[in-house]
Structure 1
Amino acid sequence: MASHIPAGYAEDRLHRYLAHWTRDPSNVRKLDVDAISWSTADERLARQKNACQVGSDYYDLVTPLYEQGWGQQFHYTPLRPGLSIRESMTAYEKTFAEIARLEKGMRVLDLGCGIGGPARTIASTIECEIVGITNNAWHVERGTALNKEAGLDKLVSLVHGDFLKLPFPDESFDAAYSVESLCYAPDPAQVYLEIKRVLKPGAPFTFHDFAMTENEPAPWYYGPGGNIWWAWRTPGWPDFWKVFKMWEPFRGCAHAFYRLLILLGRTPPEVSTLMDTMWYCTKGVAKGGKMGIFTPMYVFVCRKPGQ
């Protein structure tokens, strides 16, 4: 099976991603904070026009770390008393399948499937066929290997493609869903038109995206926020190490350790930049949750009009 860490990972993939966020193409080893924080309208428009490639390069970079540190399911979840983050994710995916009106024997489209974690849960539970689409070739390679390992390659398949131009015939799916992915589309209206095109008349479409209820046993962001107090209180040990790695003192120690490896020539300098990139993203998500201005768990269900 393909490893979750591809060959030549850190240096090559980091350079490709940072090239989208710098004003100095000769130096793509470090974050160009000015180019990110004070980008011009023209720079933002250029990235928007190239959004598919920017997104693919980003997931080339972070997918192995997501899988290593978070698991095969790249989404947030409502937390359930007594369950770990992973158990809560699996339980939620099963509930989401019910909300999405998915049934045995359906042919279902998963938009933004990642490496197929939710698709495998849903397909094995409902016994429906799921076709996932992602703009990242590594997702397809890694997810296909995981499908075979789970014995689900007959039910779950992954396709490399673009939301804006879905590579499927008209009215070829019984249902469609998306988990935390459509918010990244450069033209949401075009995506919805494409979804409508490939759905059969009367077919449901459900998405889980970035917005939240306040009645939870623990704040959803305690994981990315590195809150080891909640990690201990809520499910106990299953989450503790995962959340501990997000804890700021641990991050500081890990950063110092890698700085030493870089100094000794045992690790490329890009690893430090990669860690910073992921850290800014993770802390931003948690900080938005604490401020009450961000939620990743707004669910919306609709249906294509029947004939």
Structure 2
Amino acid sequence: MSKTGALDLASGVGGKITKDEVKSAVEEYEKYHVCFGGEEETRKTNYGDMVNKYYDLATSFYEYGWGESFHFAHRWKGESLRESIKRHEHFLALQLGLKMGMKVLDVGCGIGGPLREIARFSSTSVTGLNNNEYQISRGEELNRLAGLNESCDFVKADFMKMPFSDNTFDAIYAIEATCHAPDAVGCYNEIHRVLKPGQCFAAYEWCMTDNFDPNNETHQKTKAEIELGNGLPDVRTTMQCLEALKLAGFEVIWEKDLAQDSPVPWYLPLDASRFSLTSFRLTALGRLITRTMVKALEFTGLAPQGSDRVSSFLEKAAVGLVDGGRKEIFTPMYFFLARKPLSES
């Protein structure tokens, strides 16, 4: 069951951060980013602290506006956002060939929305790996409500240093999560290590596309807004992700930016120029109402000081994402399916 009320949203801001420390946590988080004078190397060095602060601060906003699955999706005309998100998750399961009895790892699982959908769709046991305590506690509660607490579980750990033995999993996937890694090769190396030989890893990655010009100030501004609003050390290019997979030892079966052939633009839910009753909270009016509500709750003391600033940098992220999508310089769904060779050469 998703949190839907204003008070639920307010009570969740800060996650495991104490309410009187939320404002200072927001300030510390903001200082990591270019918009506030931060540097890429600092973000990469302190990625664990930065990403944890981000998800403690932002998770209740995500769940309030987006539901349990925090990701975008390839979308057909006439298809609702919720339907497209489920199909996007099913597509991943089908590409991996998931079957009953397989042991599956979800790398960077959030509160487990995709984990639960994929487990039900494929009749597999899925372990969610997450380094954020608050998201795991939410995920465990939602697993119990869904009746999946016996077949699916969560492990609190850094995906750069996984607490699993070599060759443990039959399949591994990541949905818009490994973009938080400070080093793609190091992250993919760990995934390669814990995956059984001959088995596959599939992911949707956040990437800058070939249209991104690092010397273009407007492009750089958009990239910085995306990093600030989404807790990212850096946004890699599609080619950097592809090269990192190969360096980690994977055989790439196929790869494609699925945003290129999405009949409905992936960024449409965040586009301020559109209106939708089914996704009202994501529209410009819906976000304005949420922002006003958060301001009022913070003023009355029902929401911690700093809540409005979280809402503000999430708004900035929405602007950056829509801008990046329209200019086709950014994609949240660079898809790849890669296999770990049966024998290492």
User: Does TM, scored on the shorter chain, surpass 0.5?
Assistant: yes
Contact (CA 8 Å) 1:223, 1:242: kept in 2 or not?
no
Match of 1:27 in 2: none
CA pair 53-252 structure 1, distance change in 2 beyond 3 A: same
How far residue 21 of structure 1 moved from its aligned partner, in angstroms, is: 3.1
How far residue 101 of structure 1 moved from its aligned partner, in angstroms, is: 2.2
Cα distance in structure 2, aligned partners of 1:77 and 1:121: 14
The equivalent position to 1:47 in structure 2, one of 43, 48, 53, is: 43
Which residues in structure 2 correspond to 1:72-87 (within 5 Å)?
72-87=68-83
Aligned partner letter, 1:91: R
> Per-residue displacement from partner, 1:49-77 (whole Å, max 9, x unpaired)?
11011101100111111011110000100
CA pair 98-8 structure 1, distance change in 2 beyond 3 A: closer
CA pair 53-6 structure 1, distance change in 2 beyond 3 A: farther
CA pair 174-65 structure 1, distance change in 2 beyond 3 A: same
Q: Which has the higher strand share?
A: 2
Unaligned stretches of 5+ in structure 1?
A: 24-34, 232-236
Cα distance in structure 1, aligned partners of 2:36 and 2:165: 42
2:270 is paired with a residue of what secondary structure? coil
Cα distance in structure 2, aligned partners of 1:116 and 1:266: 27
2:308 is paired with a residue of what secondary structure? helix
How does the TM-score come out when normalised to structure 1?
0.83
Match of 1:16 in 2: 25
1:297 is paired with a residue of what secondary structure? strand
How far residue 199 of structure 1 moved from its aligned partner, in angstroms, is: 1.0
How far residue 220 of structure 1 moved from its aligned partner, in angstroms, is: 1.1
The equivalent position to 1:223 in structure 2, one of 243, 250, 269, is: 269
Aligned partner letter, 2:27: L
CA pair 266-108 structure 1, distance change in 2 beyond 3 A: closer
> Taking every aligned residue pair, what percent have the same amino acid on both sides?
34
Match of 2:278 in 1: 238
Cα distance in structure 2, aligned partners of 1:49 and 1:130: 30
Cα distance in structure 1, aligned partners of 2:40 and 2:127: 32
Aligned partner letter, 1:198: V
CA pair 260-7 structure 1, distance change in 2 beyond 3 A: closer
The equivalent position to 2:132 in structure 1, one of 126, 130, 136, is: 136
How far residue 8 of structure 1 moved from its aligned partner, in angstroms, is: 7.4
Aligned partner letter, 1:238: T
The equivalent position to 2:103 in structure 1, one of 90, 100, 107, is: 107
CA pair 68-257 structure 1, distance change in 2 beyond 3 A: closer
Match of 1:270 in 2: 306
Unaligned stretches of 5+ in structure 2?
A: 207-256
Which residues in structure 2 correspond to 1:58-77 (within 5 Å)?
58-77=54-73
Q: Tell me which of the two structures has the higher relative contact order, counting C-alpha pairs closer than 8 angstroms and 6 or more residues apart.
A: 2
> Per-residue displacement from partner, 1:229-254 (whole Å, max 9, x unpaired)?
5x4xxxxx423x233xx31x554565
> Per-residue displacement from partner, 1:121-168 (whole Å, max 9, x unpaired)?
110111111111011111110001100100011221111101110010
How far residue 212 of structure 1 moved from its aligned partner, in angstroms, is: 3.7
Contact (CA 8 Å) 2:68, 2:111: kept in 1 or not?
yes
CA pair 274-95 structure 1, distance change in 2 beyond 3 A: same
Match of 2:246 in 1: none
1:163 is aligned to 2:159 = yes
Which has the larger displacement, 11-20 or 274-283? 11-20
Match of 2:141 in 1: 145
CA pair 106-261 structure 1, distance change in 2 beyond 3 A: closer
Cα distance in structure 2, aligned partners of 1:94 and 1:145: 23
The equivalent position to 1:281 in structure 2, one of 309, 317, 323, is: 317
2:172 is paired with a residue of what secondary structure? strand
How does the TM-score come out when normalised to structure 2?
0.75
How far residue 266 of structure 1 moved from its aligned partner, in angstroms, is: 6.7
Aligned partner letter, 2:316: Y
Aligned partner letter, 2:13: Y
